Amino acid sequence: MTDTTSTAWQTALTMLQEVEPPFVPEGFHVMTVDIEYPAGDPGAPPHRHSGPAFGYVVAGEMLFELEGEAPRVIKAGEAFWEPGGDVIHYQDGNNRSDVPVKFTVTMLCAPGQEMFTLVPEEELAERAERRVQR
């Protein structure tokens, strides 16, 4: 009889990130999506999410910028998160002009609200002092 017991599970976990998200009220739902942008694509325009989002870059590099934080590059194999709610997500575009970027995001969506909402130009102008320059 062959031994089929494995102990690999004991060392299989690698912590990518650990955060304390804001309170999530009853009625939220969760969605996980894949997003792929071609080489050099700027990504979505400034927007916000109704709840927290947790992501992982699968391939390439993403230029990531949240309100109140300096823009940063997140490379394949790295994780990111954002609190959602009122915080503006300025950039999620491809940082590379030679390869696509692909990332997976799990989002907690507030009841009765859209998961993704574009931020109007007027609001961007009103909140310009909250944007951190590189």
Assign residue 112 the CATH number of its domain: 2.60.120.10
> Helices (DSSP H) in the chain: which residue ranges?
121-126
Do the domain assignments include residue 6?
no
Instruction: Decide if pLDDT at 96 tops 90.
Output: yes
Closest listed residue to residue 25, CA positions, set 112, 89, 106? 112
C-alpha pair distances (Å), 111 with each of 16, 27, 53, 115: 28, 5, 15, 9
Q: What pTM value is reported for the model?
A: 0.84
Residue 14 lies in a domain: no
Q: Report the alpha-carbon distance of residue 110 to residue 104 in Å, rounded.
A: 19
Is residue 51 pLDDT above 80, yes or no?
A: yes
132, part of any domain: no
How many CA atoms does the CB half-sphere of 39 hold within 13 Å?
3
The answer to whether residue 59 is domain-embedded is yes
Domain count within the chain = 1
Q: What pLDDT digit, counting tens, does each position of 1-43 carry?
A: 666 788 888 888 788 888 876 667 788 889 999 999 999 999 9
Residue 15 falls within a domain, yes or no? no
State the residue range of the domain holding 74: 25-127
What would the mean pLDDT of 84-102 be, rounded to a whole number? 96
Tell me the two tokens of residue 30.
Answer: 């969760």
Residue 17 falls inside a structural domain: no
3 or 110: which leads in pLDDT: 110
Q: What is the per-residue pLDDT for 10?
A: 82
Residue 7 lies in a domain: no
